[in-house]
A and B are shown apart, each in its own frame.
Chain A
Amino acid sequence: MTGAGTAAVAAVERVATRLEAERDHLTELDSAIGDADHGGNMARGWRAAADAAADVEDPDAATVVKTTGKTVMAEVGGAAGPLYGGSLVFASAELDEGLTPESAVAFAETYLEKVQDRGDASVGDATMVDALVPAVHTFKKSIETDELPPVEALAKAVEAARRGVDFTVPIRASKGRASYLGWRSVGHQDPGATSTLFILEALLEVAQEHGDVTVADADATSPTIPDEDV
């Protein structure tokens, strides 16, 4: 086991590496329905964030997340800057007392709330919200109701996000740049939901390495449907 701050630095580095590897893939998705800048913007911004996170002295999770968010906000540009970066800065306060299963749930919920609030998007608008809502609700349920270990809970959340990404393909986009296309957005996978999944997958990898746990096959085929209207 390593400290949460060190793990957080490693996580940001893994996210940056993953987004750099997926740059062309994300650009391809975005060029179908948007302005073809998501891959380049995310890769550039998260690389800058990983470098900034690595420079944090005596890192704790909250400071690393806040530094990451500020850098993403300044460097990614477009709507992704405030949505990914601004929400991280805002939610980082939930980790001020350290990283625990409870604070991780609070962090995830606050992040989701900020994304929905800022982007004014709901489930079914074909945005990153379609990946985030099932992921955050599944994570919360796995921790609080099923009392699973955090890494297993995260694995289930990743699976839920993956199906959320698939859900963006057949539906019509009603928020963001893709909404200008109307029905022509149907049949396209949302780039923001996709990059959100990549970020969660990178987090899971690092959590498994730093928690010294491996989760073989997460079964999230029956995710929790949230009670409240989301």
Chain B
Amino acid sequence: MSVGLVVVSHSERAAEGIVEVAAEMGGDTTIEAVGGDGHGGIGTVPGDIEAALSAADSGDGVVVLVDLGSAVMNAEVAIETSDVDAAIANAPVLEGAVEAAVAATSPSATLSSVREQAESAADVDKV
């Protein structure tokens, strides 16, 4: 059992790219990428996010990283309708995914410890 991650972006390719970066630091953490409007365009769909939550969950819950606006709302809807114990991290999507991936490799990782670590990414200065 371990905490899983889901990365939600308006662009499926962006989500996959962020997962690619985060996985470098994430050991064997399960990280699912989800994005796109389901019709090949930019957007997010709650059903797809719900499926990603199930795929990422191994019983310890899932921390969700989101990009903008409707990704947040659709992730909220997906969490409400899903049986998976999941929480959205209030963090920038890429930096938060990297922090969460690192935190999830800890043997004592919990849903809240991974979420907190992801949210610490909000304070990262670039210059």
Task: Let me know if A39 is at the binding interface, CB within 8 A.
Answer: no
What is the chain A residue whose CB lies nearest that of B10? Answer: A78
Task: Let me know if A134 is at the binding interface, CB within 8 A.
Answer: no
Task: Let me know if B69 is at the binding interface, CB within 8 A.
Answer: yes
- Tell me which of B26-34, B41-49, B58-66, B83-91 binds A: B41-49
How far does the alpha carbon of A2 sit from the alpha carbon of B36 in the complex, in Å? Answer: 41
What is the chain B residue whose CB lies nearest that of A74? Answer: B47
Contacts of B73 in A (CB 8 A): 79, 81-83, 86, 118-119
What is the chain A residue whose CB lies nearest that of B41? Answer: A77
Contacts of B126 in A (CB 8 A): none
Number of residues of chain A lying within 8 A (CB) of chain B: 14
Contacts of B77 in A (CB 8 A): 73, 81-82, 86
Return the CB mask of A60-88 against B: 1 if under 8 Å, else 0: 00000000000001100111111100100
Assuming the A-B contacts A74-B47, A86-B46, are A118 and B76 also in contact, with contact meaning beta carbons closer than 8 angstroms in the complex? yes
Task: Let me know if B74 is at the binding interface, CB within 8 A.
Answer: yes
Interface size class of B (residues with CB under 8 A): 10 to 19
Enumerate B61-116 residues with CB–CB distance to A below 8 Å: 69-70, 73-74, 76-77
Evaluate contact between A77 and B76: CB separation under 8 angstroms.
Answer: no
Contacts of A74 in B (CB 8 A): 38, 45-47
Contacts of B46 in A (CB 8 A): 73-74, 81-82, 86
Distance in Å: Cβ of A15 to nearest Cβ of chain B? 21
Evaluate contact between A78 and B47: CB separation under 8 angstroms.
Answer: no
Contacts of B43 in A (CB 8 A): 77-78
Task: Let me know if A177 is at the binding interface, CB within 8 A.
Answer: yes
Distance in Å: Cβ of B71 to nearest Cβ of chain A? 9
Enumerate A80-101 residues with CB–CB distance to B below 8 Å: 80-83, 86
Interface of A, helix, strand, loop or mixed by DSSP: helix
Task: Let me know if A176 is at the binding interface, CB within 8 A.
Answer: yes
What is the chain B residue whose CB lies nearest that of A119? Answer: B73
How far does the alpha carbon of A78 sit from the alpha carbon of B72 in the complex, in Å? Answer: 10
Evaluate contact between B69 and A77: CB separation under 8 angstroms.
Answer: no
Return the CB mask of B46-60 against A: 1 if under 8 Å, else 0: 110000000000000
How far does the alpha carbon of A212 sit from the alpha carbon of B76 in the complex, in Å? Answer: 41
Most chain A beta-carbon contacts within 10 A, residue among B38, B70, B76: B70
How far does the alpha carbon of A74 sit from the alpha carbon of B70 in the complex, in Å? Answer: 13
Q: Chain A residues in contact with chain B, CB under 8 A?
A: 73-74, 77-83, 86, 118-119, 176-177
Given contacts A81-B46, A82-B74, A82-B77, 18 further A-B contacts (CB under 8 A): A73-B77, A74-B38, A74-B46, A77-B41, A77-B43, A77-B44, A77-B45, A78-B37, A78-B43, A78-B44, A79-B73, A81-B77, A82-B70, A82-B73, A86-B46, A86-B73, A86-B77, A119-B73
